[in-house]
Amino acid sequence: MANIFFLVLRRIRLPLILLITVYSVATIGMTLIPGVTPDGETWHMGFFHAFYFVSFMGTTIGFGEIPYEFTDMQRSWVLLCIYTSVISWLYGIGSLLRLVQDETFLHAVSRRNFQYSITKIDTPFYIICGYGETGEMINRGLCNLGIQTVVIDLESERISSLELDNFLTPPIALTADITDPNNLIYAGINRPQCKGVIAVTNNDHTNLKVAVASKLVNARVKVINRSEIEDEAKNMASFGTDVIINPYLTFAHRLKQLTTKPKLYRIQNWFINQYSAETISEELEEQGLPKGRWIICGYGRLGKAILELLNEHVESITIITPDPIASRAPDNTIVGRGTEAETLQEAGIENAEVIIAASDDDANNLSTVMTAKQLKPDITCIARANKEANNLLFSHADCQYVMRSSSVVANEALTTISRPLVTKFIKFSSSLTEEETTELANKINAVTGDKEPVTWRLILDAKHSPELVDFIKGAQAITIGQLTHNTRVSRGNCIPLLLLRNGVSRVMPSDDETLRVGDQLLVCGPRGIPLLPQHLQNNIELLDTLVNNNTKYIPLLRWFNRRRNHSKN
């Protein structure tokens, strides 16, 4: 606040000096010029009356001559003072108008309002560094979840666009350099309510600077970073960055899973893809990718990641790139962009089953897909959409799978923040065998009716599940099976996916596993209805009925029955 005050004083110093000078000279002149009373006597106006007259003369003009009519000399002086004071006021008002439009002043006021808003936050919040396509998706997802966000970006146009959106939880925004550690401090990184920093700019080195600054300023907060360069990612990891998301490597892993374990891919896609729909055809999601010949057009970061992970799992992969030497492509690479029919025919498209348009130019990728479809209509097309706005064009280009890097990063970040057990399940479920995956898929389909399931996390502590914790502490053993499905309940039965106990994760826990205080259980079930654990966590009566088979309807009899069972145990 002091900075704004002194800035205003510096900018209007000259207008203030001019106004003070004009009023002082006018007041002194009114006291020195003699007047005449109605009786013809000479009189001199006092300082108070002179200042009073000059004050309303310079601002309103027209209250009359006091206390007597002025002489011609007084009126001449007043006439000079009127024009001088009006000009001084116009100059002062103009200076104020220029001040309120000055970028430095506006930035100072914005920073002051920003700091004031940060001090008023009393709920958990996340700092989002960079408000591009990815930052916008993450911000919207967190706001829809009711989580407060603080957004920092160097471009004022992006920050201004926040005011045009109607968010459930309005974000607090600041136009500033995110690589300056002081701005992270202004954003509240040291406040206990700050849960994490999310750096998702398009520049990996900028994200690295944010990660380093965040961990050095406050090592407690979780740092989630976007990184597309392997060296930068390793550097981030060395500074303790909690989550590093590489959209190209992540998508390549999904393609690998869609090729080798399509059923597991579909299960994981149900759980991770709940914030921005992934553009994949239902047929491809069910059947998976063929393992025959593949063609990759564009050998950038995405093409390299796909070749590295899938080269051993498909029959062959042919690379098409305009500059094989610069991109360090394999020896058998075909020179071209993949947009020409001749190039695709040279790559053997007539025998290929999958073509991937992986360049960094959306127009070229669209052209590749359309040309490939003309040469071989039944070929599976996978394309990379570099700009989110072009996703509509790819959806009309008959692509079976569209990779949107912003969507991939946003989904990974939001899942990590809002559903940490889902992240653990996705990580450890890759170890499931084909039989276990099929069994899990059949269980989920049986419960949800072949519809996409919803996940929910049960936390066994006094804050989240007080009745259930008291029930367990009362020497009542409760198994996972009793808590997730019961024959007496027609709706709300669910499937246990992961048990977290003392920091150790266990995928697909047994129904006979006894729950303990402090456990966390991830379950999935039908969308749109409360799941059975949600009913039981705070309902002692229903819990007593399902677990202890206590069928008494009168509360007093139920209590006596529970006491009797406890004494027997």
pLDDT tens string 180-198:
999 999 999 999 999 999 9
- The per-residue pLDDT for range 467-514, each reduced to its tens digit, is 888 888 876 778 899 888 887 776 788 999 999 999 899 999 999 999
Q: Which CATH superfamily is domain 122-245 in?
A: NAD(P)-binding Rossmann-like Domain (3.40.50.720)
- Here the tokens at position 81 are 């003072």
Q: Is the pLDDT of residue 230 over 50?
A: yes
Q: How far apart are CA 347 and CA 336, in angstroms?
A: 10
Question: Is CATH 1.10.579.10 the classification given to domain 2-100?
Answer: no
- Position 344 scores a pLDDT of 94
3-state DSSP call for residue 247?
helix
Q: Which CATH superfamily is domain 433-568 in?
A: Regulator of K+ conductance, C-terminal domain (3.30.70.1450)
Taking the CA atoms of residue 97, residue 99, residue 104 and residue 109 in that order, the dihedral angle to the nearest 10 degrees is -80
- Position 38 scores a pLDDT of 85
**Cβ count near 470 (within 10 Å):** 14
Q: Print burial letters for 326-359: b (CB count within 10 Å at least 16), e (below 16).
A: eeebeeebbebbbbeeebbeebebeebbbbbbbb
Q: Is the pLDDT of residue 62 over 70?
A: no
pTM, two decimals, is 0.81
Whether cis (ω within 30° of 0) applies to the bond prior to 67 is yes
Q: What is the DSSP string of 524-565?
A: EE-TTS--HHHHHTT-HHHHHHHHH-----SHHHHHHHHHHH
Q: Is the pLDDT of residue 362 over 80?
A: yes
Q: 122-245 with 248-418: one CATH topology?
A: yes
Q: Which range in 36-40, 167-171, 338-342, 442-446 is most confidently predicted, on average pLDDT?
A: 338-342
- Here the tokens at position 433 are 């065998």
What is the residue extent of each domain of the chain?
Answer: 2-100, 122-245, 248-418, 433-568
What is the pLDDT averaged over residues 310-328?
Answer: 92
Looking at residue 276, its amino acid is S
Q: Which range has the worst mean pLDDT, 315-324, 408-417, 488-497? A: 488-497
Strands 334-335 and 172-175: unpaired
Choose among 259, 248, 257: nearest CA to 353: 259
- Position 552 scores a pLDDT of 47
What is the pLDDT averaged over residues 328-348?
Answer: 92
Rg (CA), the chain: 36
Q: Yes or no: say if 265 and 240 are a contact pair by the CB < 8 Å rule.
A: no
Element (H, E) at 406: helix 405-418
Q: Is the pLDDT of residue 563 over 60?
A: no
Strands 520-525 and 495-501: antiparallel
- Position 553 scores a pLDDT of 47
β-strand partners of 89: none
Round the average pLDDT of the chain to a whole number and report it: 87
Q: How far apart are CA 241 and CA 244, in angstroms?
A: 7
- Here the tokens at position 237 are 């990891």
Q: Is the pLDDT of residue 449 over 70?
A: yes
What's the CATH architecture for 248-418? 3-Layer(aba) Sandwich (3.40)
Q: How far apart are CA 318 and CA 335, in angstroms?
A: 11
- The per-residue pLDDT for range 109-146, each reduced to its tens digit, is 888 888 889 999 999 999 999 999 999 999 999 998 89
What is the distance, to the nearest Å, from the Cα of residue 522 to the centroid of all Cα atoms in its chain? 23
Q: Yes or no: say if 476 and 540 are a contact pair by the CB < 8 Å rule.
A: no
Looking at residue 407, its amino acid is S
Q: How far apart are CA 502 and CA 127, in angstroms?
A: 29
Q: How far apart are CA 296 and CA 383, in angstroms?
A: 10
Q: Yes or no: say if 472 and 536 are a contact pair by the CB < 8 Å rule.
A: no
What is the pLDDT averaged over residues 344-359?
Answer: 94
